[in-house]
Amino acid sequence: MDNLEYPAARRCDVVDHYFGEAVPDPYRWLEDTNSTETKDWIAQQNALTQRVLKSCLNRDAIRARTRELWNFPKAGVPFRRGVKWFQTRNSGLQNQSVLVVGDEPCGEARTLIDPNPLSDNGTVALTQLSITHDGLLVAYAVSESGSDWMTWRIRDVSTGQDLQDLVQWSKFMSVSWRRDKSGFFYAGMDQPLESGVFLDESRGRRILFHSLGTSQRQDEEVFSAPNQPDWLPSVEVSNDDRYLFLSIHRGTGVENMLLVKDLAYPDARFQPLCKDFSCKAQVVGNEGTRVLILTDRDAERQKIVELDVSRPEDPWLDVVKECEDILLEAQICGGKIVCHYLRDAQSVLKIYERNGVPSHEIAEIGSVSLTHDSTSPRSFEGDPSDSWIYFQTVSFVESGTIWRHNVDTKITEVLQRSASILDPNDYVTERVFVESQDGTKVPMFLIHGRDMVPRGDGRVLMYGYGGFNIPVTPSFSLLFASWLDSGGVVAVTNLRGGGEFGTSWHDSGRLGNKQNVFDDYCACARWLTTSGWSTPGRTAISGASNGGLLVGACITQHPELFGAAISDVGVYDMLRFDKFTVGWAWRSDYGSPNDPEQYRWLKSYSPLHNVTPGTCYPPTFVLTGDHDDRVVPGHSLKFAATLQAAQGCDRPILLRVAASVGHGLGKPVEMLIDEVVDKIVFLETAMA
């Protein structure tokens, strides 16, 4: 590709000082996405990117095939409230999924909430749901332009009409109803200044109770900790409506305090069940005063214990003991304990009696991953009084089959099969293990056509994340489907820092151990060459958010390993990540640039601060959204400007800033297709 003339980026003389070291930040002005200068620069960057990508002769064919691959019916896991069944559905190319209600799971249903008419471009999304126990009222949240900020409304299920209630300025938490429908608990924050909605720090979250039919101004404060701005509280009402459980995290750390309040006594105070941040303690359910807790205390792969809220000082009693698999979540369903485990980064459902005695494992689902849509934090649905559980399985080549299983009869049935036009029988998923720099074995999924064998010329698209105790499991994505359909190979890595293999796996990839994550990813890239699957020039890497940091660190440390790089909404400035929106919460995984030792860790791998002028970096595609209020666009803008100025060869550094798009939440289908087409065209051009 010919040398590109990049839009001019003014260099300013801003210099920060950290522990006696001067650190220039010449593109600081790009952090202000509201300024005219930044907006003009973004427009020029977008114009250059589209000019380059539209030169691809088969772009129209790629777009037509991409739309075809995504044009199939999609549905979430059905769930019952009262006598009604609820489910999210998308007919194929609707910009946003809709909520439907009917009389049976996956059956005939009427539309209850359709966010598509709420905006001209499909950028208003249905992002959270909470339905009363009797199924008569739905609290639903919508977000605009991909923002994490949510606005809650209440809809009457029978009439389909909204009540007068309106709750604004909430983030990252659903609401929890009282059983009598008198109102719900939620997490609220102060309304930010108009100029800082998408930039200013989001702190001071508190718990409030909204009484149905009243103004938000009258909401009762249930919990706040003004002297602990890093605390993130959330609450849940017990299924019997007796207790309010309060969980408090410090930022994104997995450890939490757990408190309980007896709702039978209006003046009761919260009492501690886990009074410090020494472990994870997550409520599974309760029977009277006996509460089941999922914890990693003395169990890095997690277990379930029981305690009595009336005697919180008593020892915790093991119910479901730790095993070789990783326990992710659990619910009480039909009087039994249903546990979702990971076994080698793939889902397993196990059923236990209430006393912890093993009952059975659901074997029919095979080597897949359980999934859920954005409106629910659960990967399976069930009820303490119902023996049926409902779940959906996906793989890298199978878009989603909905099942139900009876925990008493052990019968498993398919309710709705995958509708994707990609034929799973045409592909093979292998599991390989790669030796990292320090000898650690790093697992990797390798997905390719059934008849493909390593000949040294494969086009491989790698994906990784490696952070925040989040497991990377089999998933179906439009990008993966398009790449596989075009004859490419997909490699999905399970890097340290993730949640695939327990506490030690997470700890070995965070804070002072973060470099292990980048070493793991680079080792996987080298393996693709030594194994004969590819070469550096035909190996592309991709990642988003913390995975964008991964891509940025790897191309600045080892540019020779990659033929192309795609980095979405990445964290690139590791010295200023904590100054915007919720960035402060990530210190649990990254550390703080205000600490001298942690500053040295961060600067050693910070992508923005490790770009070397004159280096030949691989073709790189940096993507963000102008409304990203989680990882603010300034990260991507500054990194792209720095790479463009430093590039020592004619390989392109392209920046794409999507309008009315955030961190990825609620992205309209048409915008998703446009983005995937641009990525495929970029890869085709870069690795031609």
Residue range 277-308, pLDDT digits in tens: 999 999 999 999 999 999 999 999 999 999 99
pLDDT score for 631: 94
Q: Quickly tell me which residue has 């990971």 as its tokens.
A: 342
From 190-199, 313-322, 553-562, the region with the lowest mean pLDDT: 190-199
pLDDT score for 170: 84
Mapping DSSP to helix (H, G, I), strand (E, B) and coil, where does residue 116 land? helix
Q: How many domains does the chain have?
A: 1
- With 0-12 / 13-18 / 19 or more C-beta atoms within 10 angstroms meaning exposed / middle / buried, residue 173 is buried
Q: What is the DSSP string of 497-540?
A: TSSSS-HHHHHTTSGGGTHHHHHHHHHHHHHHHHTTS--GGGEE
Predicted confidence (pLDDT) per residue in 486-503, tens digit: 999 999 999 999 999 999
Predicted confidence (pLDDT) per residue in 216-229, tens digit: 999 999 999 989 98
E-assigned strands of 335-440?
336-343, 346-352, 358-361, 369-370, 380-383, 386-394, 401-406, 412-416, 427-435
Would 667 be classed as within a structural domain? yes
Q: What is the mean pLDDT of the chain?
A: 93
Q: Quickly tell me which residue has 């804070």 as its tokens.
A: 511
**β-strand 346-352 against 336-343: which pairing, if any?**
antiparallel
Percent of the chain at pLDDT > 70 equals 96
Mean pLDDT, range 141-166, rounded to an integer: 92
Q: Determine the Cα–Cα distance for residues 659 and 144; give it in Å rounded to an integer.
A: 12
380 and 131 Cβ atoms separated by less than 8 Å:
no
663 and 148 Cβ atoms separated by less than 8 Å:
yes
pLDDT score for 388: 96
Predicted confidence (pLDDT) per residue in 502-534, tens digit: 999 999 999 999 999 999 999 999 999 999 999
Q: Determine the Cα–Cα distance for residues 235 and 471; give it in Å rounded to an integer.
A: 24
pLDDT at residue 211 above 90?
A: yes
Q: Which of 124-128, 363-367, 504-508, 628-632 shows the highest mean pLDDT?
A: 504-508
128 and 137 Cβ atoms separated by less than 8 Å:
no
- Using pLDDT thresholds of 50, 70 and 90, give the confidence band for residue 197: low
Q: Quickly tell me which residue has 């602990």 as its tokens.
A: 228
CATH of the domain at 441: 3.40.50.1820
| Encoded amino acid at 267, one letter | D
pLDDT at residue 368 above 90?
A: no
563 and 554 Cβ atoms separated by less than 8 Å:
no
H or E element, residue 599: helix 596-605
Task: Tell me the catalytic residues.
Answer: 545, 663
pLDDT at residue 418 above 60?
A: yes
- Using pLDDT thresholds of 50, 70 and 90, give the confidence band for residue 173: confident
Predicted confidence (pLDDT) per residue in 40-80, tens digit: 999 999 999 999 999 888 999 999 999 999 999 999 999 99
Q: Which two three-digit tokens encode residue 578?
A: 């904590």
H or E element, residue 447: strand 441-449
Would 210 be classed as within a structural domain? no
pLDDT at residue 321 above 60?
A: yes
- With 0-12 / 13-18 / 19 or more C-beta atoms within 10 angstroms meaning exposed / middle / buried, residue 164 is exposed
pLDDT score for 201: 63
- Residue 463 pairs in a beta bridge with 492, 542
Mean pLDDT, range 399-421, rounded to an integer: 93
Q: Determine the Cα–Cα distance for residues 357 and 579; give it in Å rounded to an integer.
A: 49
pLDDT score for 23: 98
pLDDT score for 120: 87
Predicted confidence (pLDDT) per residue in 430-466, tens digit: 999 999 999 999 999 999 999 999 999 999 999 999 9
Would 186 be classed as within a structural domain? no
pLDDT at residue 365 above 70?
A: no
Would 25 be classed as within a structural domain? yes
Predicted confidence (pLDDT) per residue in 88-134, tens digit: 999 999 999 999 999 999 999 999 999 999 998 888 989 999 999 99
Q: Which domain holds residue 557?
A: 15-68+422-686
Mean pLDDT, range 145-173, rounded to an integer: 90
pLDDT score for 575: 98
- With 0-12 / 13-18 / 19 or more C-beta atoms within 10 angstroms meaning exposed / middle / buried, residue 197 is middle
Would 80 be classed as within a structural domain? no
Would 599 be classed as within a structural domain? yes
E-assigned strands of 72-123?
74-75, 79-81, 84-90, 98-102, 109-113
pLDDT score for 3: 73
Read off φ and ψ for residue 9, nearest 5 degrees: -120, 115
Mean pLDDT, range 557-563, rounded to an integer: 98
Would 650 be classed as within a structural domain? yes
Q: Determine the Cα–Cα distance for residues 119 and 131; give it in Å rounded to an integer.
A: 24
Would 342 be classed as within a structural domain? no
Residues ≥6 apart with Cβ < 8 Å to 364: 403, 412
pLDDT score for 198: 58
- Using pLDDT thresholds of 50, 70 and 90, give the confidence band for residue 650: very high
Mean pLDDT, range 553-559, rounded to an integer: 98
Mapping DSSP to helix (H, G, I), strand (E, B) and coil, where does residue 293 land? strand
Distances (CA, A) of 487 to 228, 397, 447, 449, 481: 52, 13, 11, 7, 10
Percent of the chain at pLDDT > 90 equals 84
From 4-8, 53-57, 145-149, the region with the lowest mean pLDDT: 145-149
Which alpha helices (H) appear in 382-485, and where do they start and end? 478-485
- Using pLDDT thresholds of 50, 70 and 90, give the confidence band for residue 189: confident
pLDDT score for 149: 86
Q: What is the CA radius of gyration of the chain?
A: 25
More confident residue, 385 or 559: 559
pLDDT at residue 202 above 90?
A: no
pLDDT score for 184: 96
Q: Determine the Cα–Cα distance for residues 562 and 620; give it in Å rounded to an integer.
A: 10
Residues ≥6 apart with Cβ < 8 Å to 504: 300
